[in-house]
Structure 1
Amino acid sequence: MKRLFTLVVISLLFALVAPAAAQEATPEVSESLLAGLGYAELHIKAGDDNVEMPDQINAGRTLIVYENVGQESMHPLMLRLPDDLTVEQALADVGPEAMEPPAWFLDADFPGFVGETLPGHTSFAGVDLVAGPHLVLHDSAIHLDVVAADATPVPVQEPAVDGTVSMFEMGYEFPETIDSGRQVWEVTNVGEVPHELLLVRSVVPATAEQIIALFSSEDENATPVGGGPSFADVDPVGGVGW
C-alpha cells in the first residue's frame, strides 16, 4: 500500500470533546486556506440525487473542493483503479446491486479525499493525484479520468501547516495540543492498509472516556453510562477520507 499524503482544511471550534457555542459558517470556496497556492481545483457539488463534477483533471497536487448542497450528510471516498481493471468492470462491480466490496477493492490506491461533510458545508483537501482512472464513490460511483499534464510540472508550493497526523494500524499520532479555529493539517498514512481520519465535536459537555464509550457501542441510540452525548450530539468538523 502506497503512503498517503493529504493536506486537509479543518475547522475546530473548541477542544474536540468540549461544548461549542455555535457552528461556524462554512467558508466560501475562495476563502480556502489552501487557495492561492496554484493547485488545480477539483470542484464537486453533491446533492441528495445528483453529483456535479468534471470527468477529467490533470495529475498533480490538487485542491478538492467538496460542496454538500443536499439535505443529508455525505461521506464519499476516491480511489485509483488497479492497472489491470477496466473502468466498465469496476463500475459494474460497485453498482447498485453490489452487496459487498469487490475482491479488487483493497488493491486500489486511495490518494485521500475530504472527510464527512454536513449539509450546507464545504470541505477542502489537497491531495497528490497520479494519472489513471479513478472512481469517486457516493451512493453511486462516478468515473474521473486523471491524465498526465502535457506541460512541464510546476514546482509544488507547500503550505504552512498547523499540525501533522500519522495514521497507521490501530492508532494515530496527533498533535499534543489543538487550538480552536480553521487550520491546515498534514495527514500521512504510514501503515499498510487504508485509513481515514474523522474529527468530531460534542455539542454537550463530554469527557474523553464518554466519547470512547459512545463510539464503542453497537447501538446508535446509546448514551454512555453516567451521562454524556449521544450520536445526535456529535458533529464532524473535518478530516480526511481513504
Structure 2
Amino acid sequence: MRFVPLLLLGTLVSACAKEGPPVADVVSEPQTVTVTATDYGYQLPSAPIKAGLTTITLVNEGKEIHHLTLIRLADGKTMSDFMTAIETPGPVPDWAVGMGGPNGAPPGGEANATLVLESGTYVVACFIPSPDGVPHFAKGMIMGMEVQPEDGATAALPAGDIQVGLLEYGFTLSQTPMAGKRSFTVTNQGKEPHEVVLVRLAPGKTIEQLAAWLEAGEQGPPPGEPIGGLSGMNPGQVQNFSADLTPGTYGFICFVPAPDGAPHFAHGMVATFTVS
C-alpha cells in the first residue's frame, strides 16, 4: 500500500480554491453513482450522471488499493486537452480543478464520497502508485466523465455524524466516533489542498508507524489498511464520506504534497482515535 504525493495531484487540487456547498441539517436523498475500479481502469455507469447532490461509491475489484479523484475541466477543455497538458512539466493549468472523490478503497472493498457535482466535463483518475512506483493513471486508470445539468433545485450536503477539519498540518474531530456506520463531514479549513485517508490500524500499531512504513518503502506487513476517505480537496471545500467502524484503533493521514514537496504526513498530518 502506498499513496504517492504527486506534485500533479497537489497542483490539481490547488488550482482553484472555492467555497464548499452549504451543509444541511435536513437530509436529502442524493443521486447514487457506482463506479467499478480494476487494475487498471474504471467502469462508469451507463445511465447519465446529473449535477447536484451525489454519492459516488467506488467498488474495488482489483488487487491493489484505488481511489477516484475528480478533476473538473473548465473553459470548454476536453480530456484530450488534459492529457496533452500533463505531458508538459510544470503546474497543471487553472482550467483543471481537483474536486475530491472517494479515497482509499481496499482490494475487494469500497469507498464513498457525497458531494455536490457541477455540470460539465470531468476527468477521473487514480494517482496511487503500483509496487513498481508507476502511478495507476500512467497505466491507463484515467478517463473522461460527463455530468449533465440537473433537473431541479440543488439539494444541500447533509450534515454528518462527525465533523472533521483539515488544517496545516493536522486533523480536528468534533467527537470520537463510536462503532457502527458513521458519516463524516470533512471541511478543508486550511490554506493548502488536503485529503483524508481513514486507516484501520493493526493491533498494537500506530499511524506514525504506518507513515514510517511508507517512507521506508513498504517493507514487511502493513501496519494498517485504508477503509475510506476523500481525495484531494481545495481550501474551503466540504464533502462527506461514510465508513463502517468496528472497535479498534484508527488513524487519519494526508499524502498531498506541501510546497516543499514533502507529503503532509511528514509534517505531522496524522491523527489517531480509538473506537469502542
Q: Same fold (TM over 0.5)?
A: yes
Question: 1:38 is paired with a residue of what secondary structure?
Answer: coil
With over 3 angstroms needed to count, the CA separation of the structure-2 counterparts of 1:68 and 1:75, relative to structure 1, is: same
Q: Partner amino acid for 2:142? A: A
With over 3 angstroms needed to count, the CA separation of the structure-2 counterparts of 1:148 and 1:47, relative to structure 1, is: same
With over 3 angstroms needed to count, the CA separation of the structure-2 counterparts of 1:145 and 1:43, relative to structure 1, is: same
State the TM-score, normalizing by the size of structure 1.
Answer: 0.70
RMSD: 2.9
Measure, in 1, the Cα distance between the counterparts of 2:66 and 2:20. Answer: 22
With over 3 angstroms needed to count, the CA separation of the structure-2 counterparts of 1:173 and 1:49, relative to structure 1, is: closer
User: Contact (CA 8 Å) 1:6, 1:187: kept in 2 or not?
Assistant: no
Question: 2:98 is paired with a residue of what secondary structure?
Answer: coil
Counterpart in the other structure of 1:197:
196
Q: Deviations over 1:142-161 (max 9, x none)?
A: 11112222x322x6265452
Q: CA offset at residue 197 of structure 1?
A: 0.5
Question: 1:115 is paired with a residue of what secondary structure?
Answer: coil
Q: Partner amino acid for 1:73? A: I
Counterpart in the other structure of 1:53:
44
With over 3 angstroms needed to count, the CA separation of the structure-2 counterparts of 1:73 and 1:6, relative to structure 1, is: farther
Counterpart in the other structure of 1:227:
none
Q: Partner amino acid for 1:45? A: T
Q: CA offset at residue 43 of structure 1?
A: 1.3
Counterpart in the other structure of 2:183:
184
Counterpart in the other structure of 2:174:
175
Gaps of 5+ in 2: 1-16, 127-136, 233-276
User: Is residue 212 from structure 1 mapped to residue 228 from structure 2 by the alignment?
Assistant: no
Q: Partner amino acid for 2:53? A: R
User: Contact (CA 8 Å) 1:80, 1:110: kept in 2 or not?
Assistant: yes
Measure, in 1, the Cα distance between the counterparts of 2:83 and 2:182. Answer: 36
Aligned length: 198
Counterpart in the other structure of 1:238:
228
Q: CA offset at residue 214 of structure 1?
A: 4.4
Counterpart in the other structure of 1:81:
73
Measure, in 1, the Cα distance between the counterparts of 2:83 and 2:33. Answer: 21
Q: Partner amino acid for 2:145? A: L
User: Contact (CA 8 Å) 2:120, 2:147: kept in 1 or not?
Assistant: yes
User: Is residue 2 from structure 1 mapped to residue 18 from structure 2 by the alignment?
Assistant: yes
Counterpart in the other structure of 1:123:
111
With over 3 angstroms needed to count, the CA separation of the structure-2 counterparts of 1:187 and 1:72, relative to structure 1, is: same
State the percentage of identical aligned residues: 25
Question: 2:97 is paired with a residue of what secondary structure?
Answer: coil
Q: Partner amino acid for 1:199? A: L
Measure, in 1, the Cα distance between the counterparts of 2:229 and 2:170. Answer: 15
The structure having more radius of gyration, on CA atoms, is: 1
State the TM-score, normalizing by the size of structure 2.
Answer: 0.62
User: Contact (CA 8 Å) 1:5, 1:189: kept in 2 or not?
Assistant: no
Question: 2:58 is paired with a residue of what secondary structure?
Answer: strand
Measure, in 2, the Cα distance between the counterparts of 1:202 and 1:215. Answer: 12
Q: Partner amino acid for 2:201? A: S
Question: 1:215 is paired with a residue of what secondary structure?
Answer: helix
User: Contact (CA 8 Å) 2:79, 2:143: kept in 1 or not?
Assistant: no
Q: CA offset at residue 99 of structure 1?
A: 8.4
Q: Partner amino acid for 1:183? A: R
Gaps of 5+ in 1: 8-35, 223-229
With over 3 angstroms needed to count, the CA separation of the structure-2 counterparts of 1:71 and 1:39, relative to structure 1, is: same
Measure, in 1, the Cα distance between the counterparts of 2:210 and 2:38. Answer: 29
Question: 1:232 is paired with a residue of what secondary structure?
Answer: coil
Counterpart in the other structure of 2:152:
152
Measure, in 1, the Cα distance between the counterparts of 2:174 and 2:164. Answer: 7
